[in-house]
């Protein structure tokens, strides 16, 4: 596999490059891309073969829940069951932003994504690159963090080093500048009251 290395600017992602990336995703490709937190690996949520490839690359065995990226709140509504009003208000305040919300999945979420239970993690990152990809693609993409082999750094931050590591393993690595070293804050919203699962880059206390 010949891995493409594509430079994109978060402020104004090149539409032609976005179209080319989406074409690869439509054809079952796997990409690595920047977010507002750490770099993520992803594919279309509707491509089973590509999801299996990500499982293999991440050495995930057995059932596992994947989170995915939506464009905005209205896009999220397509993939989850009813959102309680307090949760909706919280999401409206914090998104786009460095938060992953665990919600009750609707029937539109492919079963391969929520294999262990009927919930799904959803992100709307504050970064135009993945959001534009999702908008043009027409459906969400998987988001799973790129971990580093370094004993000090948990996540890979340098897109050129990521490209070196994954060359020949994924279809595209997007250079959107250096990534963060901290993942998103995870909030369980499957009940009426939001529950902090993992404290990450997003400060939930500022919104509660």
Listed in sequence order, the residues at least 6 apart from 145 whose beta carbon sits closer than 8 Å to its beta carbon are 38, 39, 40, 41, 155, 183
Average pLDDT over every residue of 86-97 = 94
User: Are 28 and 50 in contact, with CB atoms under 8 Å apart?
Assistant: yes
Domains of the chain, each with CATH number or no CATH? 4-206 (3.90.870.10)
Span 31-43, pLDDT tens digits:
999 999 999 999 9
Rounded-to-integer distance, Cα 119 and Cα 48, Å:
18
The DSSP call for residue 205 is G
Model's pTM, two decimal places? 0.94
C-alpha 39: how far from chain center: 9
Span 155-186, pLDDT tens digits:
789 999 999 999 999 999 999 999 999 999 99
Reading the block at residue 56, the tokens are 């293999």
Span 45-61, pLDDT tens digits:
999 999 999 999 988 87
Q: Which residue has the tokens 């500048």?
A: 177
Q: What are the backbone dihedrals phi and psi of residue 173, each rounded to the nearest 5 degrees, phi first?
A: -115, 125
pLDDT given at position 125:
98
Pairing of strands 172-175, 4-7: parallel
User: Are 171 and 23 in contact, with CB atoms under 8 Å apart?
Assistant: no
More confident residue, 18 or 1: 18
Residue 63 pLDDT > 80: no
Shortest CA distance to 41 belongs to which of 54, 53, 52, 50? 54
Q: Say how many CA atoms lie within 13 Å of 14 toward its Cβ.
A: 11
Average pLDDT over every residue of 174-201 = 93
Span 92-139, pLDDT tens digits:
999 999 999 999 999 888 887 766 678 999 999 999 999 999 999 999
Residue 86 pLDDT > 80: yes
The H or E element that residue 40 is part of is: strand 40-42
Listed in sequence order, the residues at least 6 apart from 207 whose beta carbon sits closer than 8 Å to its beta carbon are 90, 93, 94
Rounded-to-integer distance, Cα 12 and Cα 17, Å:
11
pLDDT given at position 115:
61
Reported as a pLDDT band with limits 50, 70 and 90, residue 76 is very high
Residue 152 pLDDT > 60: no
Residue 17 pLDDT > 90: yes
Reading the block at residue 27, the tokens are 């054809």
């Amino acid at each position: 596999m010949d891995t493409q290395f594509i430079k994109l600017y978060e402020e104004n992602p090149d539409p032609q490059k976005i179209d080319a990336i989406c074409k690869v995703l439509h054809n079952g490709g796997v990409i690595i891309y920047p977010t507002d937190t750490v770099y993520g690996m992803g594919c279309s949520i509707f491509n089973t073969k590509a999801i299996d490839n990500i499982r293999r690359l991440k050495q995930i065995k057995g059932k596992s829940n994947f989170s995915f990226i939506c464009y905005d709140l209205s896009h999220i509504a397509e993939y989850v069951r009813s959102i309680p009003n307090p949760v909706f208000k919280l999401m409206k305040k914090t998104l786009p932003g460095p938060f992953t919300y665990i919600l009750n999945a609707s029937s539109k979420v492919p079963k391969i994504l929520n294999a262990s239970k009927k919930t799904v993690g959803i992100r709307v990152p504050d970064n135009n690159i993945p959001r534009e990809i999702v908008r043009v693609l027409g459906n969400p993409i998987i988001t799973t963090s790129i971990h580093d082999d370094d004993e000090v750094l948990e996540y890979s931050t340098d897109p050129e080093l990521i490209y070196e590591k994954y060359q020949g393993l994924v279809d595209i690595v997007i250079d959107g500048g250096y990534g963060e070293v901290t993942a998103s804050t995870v909030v369980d919203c499957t009940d009426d009251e939001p529950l902090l699962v993992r404290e990450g880059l997003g400060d939930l206390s500022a919104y509660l």
